Chains A and B, each alone.
Chain A
Amino acid sequence: MDYLHDINAFLPGVIVALAGLVTITIDAYKNDHGSIYGLTVFSLLAGLILSVMDMFGPVGEAFTGMITYGGVSAFGSSVVLFGALFCVLISREYLSAIDHEYGEVYSLLLIATAGMLGLVSANNLIMIFIGIETMSICLYVLAGIIKGQKIGAEASLKYFLLGAFSTGFLLYGMALLYGATGSLYLTEIAEGASSDLLFIAGAALLLVGFFFKVSAVPFHMWTPDVYQGTPTTITAYMATASKSAAFVALLIVLSKMIPAETANWAGVIEVIAILTMVMGNLIAIVQDNIKRMLAYSSIAHAGYLLVGLAAGTPEGYSAVLFYLFAYTIMNIGAFGVVAYYERQQGLDFTDINNYVGLGFKKPLMGVLLSFFLFSLVGIPPFVGFVGKYLIFAAAINAGYIALAVILALASAASVYYYLRPMVYMYFKDPHKDVPLVRSGIVFRSTLVVLAALTLYFGIAFGDLHNLLSSFYTADWVTHLVGQ
Chain B
Amino acid sequence: MTESDLSSVWVYLSATPLLGLTITLVAYSIAYRIYIFMDSNPLLNPVISSVAVLIIFLLITDTPYSAYFEGGQFVHFLLGPATVALAVPLYQQFTKLRKLWLPLSIALVSGVVIGALSSIGIARLLGASLQTQLSLAPKSVTAPVAMGISEQIGGLPSLTAVFVVATGIIGAVLGSRLFKLMKIEDDSVKGIAMGITAHGIGTARAFQISREMGAFSGLAMALSAFTTAIILPWLLDLTGLLR
A and B physically associate:
no
Q: Name B residues whose Cβ lies closer than 8 Å to a Cβ of A.
A: none
